[in-house]
Amino acid sequence: MSRVRILVGTKKGAFVLSSDGTRKEWKIEGPHFGGWEVYHTKGSPADPNRIYASQSSNWFGQIIQRSDDGGKTWEPPGGGIPVVSSGGMPKAESNRFLYEGEVGQHLWYDGTQRPWEFKRIWHLEPSLDNPDVVYAGAEDAALFRTADGGLTWKELPSLRRAKGHLWQPGAGGMGLHTILLDPKNSKRIFVAISAAGVFRTDDAGESWRPMNRGLASAYELPDPSSDVGHCVHRIAMHASRPNVLFMQKHWDVNRSDDAGESWHEISGNLPTDFGFPIEVHAHEPDTVYVVPIKSDSEHYPPEARLRVYRSRTGGNEWEALSSGLPQRDCYVNILRDAMAVDSLEPSGVYFGTTGGQVYASSNAGDAWFAITRDLPPVLSVEVQTLA
C-alpha cells in the first residue's frame, strides 16, 4: 500500500507527518531544528529519501539542511553554521549564497535605492530527475542552484537583469517564492517574485522574460499594465499540461493558457479574490483550489469561516468546501507555500494555518479533518506520495 509523508515547515522547526494510504491515522515527528524558522522543506522527486529544508534565524543566518533517510536525521551539506554579516552575506563555507556581481539596485517606494542583500531562502525546488540538483528562491529576490546536493550554490544572475532595478518588495519582503520546473521541457523554468511578477526562461536560466501581460494592479503600480511590479502570491501548474498556469495574485485569481504569455482573470464567484495559496488536483488539470482571505489588511477568512474553494472548470465557477472546517470565530491565515496535494486516488489535499493546525482531506476536498491543531504557525506544507 502507498504511504503519504507531509513535510511541514513552521516558525519553530520542521515536522514530518506520515500515514498509510488510508490517510486516517497519522504519526507526527519533530520538531527538527526546534526554535528555528523553517521557511520551506521539500522532498526530491528523484529520491524519496532525500529531503531539503531551509532553516534560518536572525542570529545564525541561513542553513540548508538535508536528510537522506526520509527526515529521520539531518545535516547541513559540508557541515558548519553560515553566519550572516551585517551586509547580508553568509561568511561560512557551507551553504554559501553570494550574488553574482552587481546588476543594479532596488528602486524602493520612496524613490531611494539600496543594494541587493541576501536575507533567507524562501523556497526550495529539487530537480525532477537528479536528487543533487536543487533550485532555491532567495530574499532579496534571486534564483540559486546547487548541483552537489547543497554543498555549493551558484546564482543564475540573468534573472535579476530582467528589469530587476524596478522590482519592489511586497509587505513580507521581496522574495522569490515559487519555482516551477516544466516536466516536458527541461530548459523551461517559471519563477514568481513578490512584488515583481512572473518570469520564464526557455534556455535553462541563461535569459529570462517577464510573463505578466494581462495582469492589472491598479492600486500597486503607477502603470497598472506594466510588465514588472505585479504582486504575484503563487503560481501552479499540472504536470500533464505545463502550458496552463494558475495564479493567486494580490487581488485576482488568474489563468494563462500559453505558458505565461498572457493572463486572464478567473476569480468568478469567489467571496474575495485575495489569498495566498493555489494548487491543482493531481489527476484533474482543471480542478483548482484556493483559500480566500478577507483582504490585504485583514488576513483571515471572510466572515471568520474557514473555507477552501474548488473549481472543477479551470476557474470562474467556484464551490465552497467547508465540511469539517471551523465555521465561526476562525481568524487564521494560510500562507502561499502552505497547501499541497498528493497523487493517490482519490487525491488528498492538505493545508496548514498560522494558528498551527494542519488540515487534510482524503477525498479531494469534500470533507476535512485536523491531523494536528497544536503546531507552531505553519509556513509551508509539502506532500510526498511513497510506494
Cell 500559453 locates to 258
Partner residues linked to 245 by β-bridges: 237, 256
Q: What is the pLDDT of residue 219?
A: 64
Amino acid at 160: R
Are the C-beta atoms of 353 and 378 separated by less than 8 Å?
Answer: yes
Cell 541576501 locates to 118
Are the C-beta atoms of 202 and 188 separated by less than 8 Å?
Answer: yes
Q: What percent of the chain has pLDDT over 90?
A: 80
| Better-scored residue on pLDDT, 218 or 15 | 15
| Better-scored residue on pLDDT, 138 or 223 | 138
Q: What is the pLDDT of residue 60?
A: 79
Distance of CA 22 to the CA centre of its chain: 27
Phi, psi (degrees; rounded to nearest 5) at 352:
-120, 155
How does residue 107 score in pLDDT terms, banded at 50, 70 and 90? confident
**Nearest of 12, 2, 15 to residue 382 by alpha carbon:** 15
pLDDT tens sequence across 80-90? 444 333 334 44
Which distant-in-sequence residues (6+ apart) come within 8 Å of 106 by Cβ? 113, 114, 115, 116, 140, 164, 165, 167, 168, 169, 174
How does residue 212 score in pLDDT terms, banded at 50, 70 and 90? very high
How does residue 223 score in pLDDT terms, banded at 50, 70 and 90? low
- Residue 21 CB neighbours (<10 A): 16
Cα separation, 123 vs 336, in Å, equals 10
| Better-scored residue on pLDDT, 111 or 176 | 176
All domains in the chain, ordered by first residue: 3-386 (2.130.10.10)
Cell 478567473 locates to 266
Q: What is the pLDDT of residue 95?
A: 59
Average pLDDT over residues 123-141: 97
Instruction: Please report the DSSP string for 11-68 in residue order.
Output: TTEEEEEEEETT--S-EEEEEETTTSEEEEEEEETTEEEEEEEEEEETTTEEEEEEES
Average pLDDT over residues 93-106: 72
Cα separation, 186 vs 180, in Å, equals 11
Average pLDDT over residues 23-36: 96
Q: What is the pLDDT of residue 94?
A: 45
The average confidence (pLDDT) of the chain is 92
Q: Which of 50-64, 105-119, 238-252 has the lowest mean pLDDT?
A: 105-119
Q: What is the pLDDT of residue 86?
A: 31
How does residue 141 score in pLDDT terms, banded at 50, 70 and 90? very high
Q: What is the pLDDT of residue 387?
A: 86
Residue 282 has pLDDT above 50, yes or no: yes
H/E stretch holding 277 reads strand 275-280
Instruction: Please report the DSSP string for 71-121 in residue order.
Output: TSS-B-TT-S-PPBPTTS-B-SSTTB----S----EE-TTS-EE-----EE
Average pLDDT over residues 347-370: 98
Which distant-in-sequence residues (6+ apart) come within 8 Å of 87 by Cβ? 117
pLDDT tens sequence across 41-73? 999 999 999 999 999 987 878 999 999 999 999
Q: What is the pLDDT of residue 79?
A: 58
Cα separation, 30 vs 341, in Å, equals 22
Residue 379 has pLDDT above 50, yes or no: yes
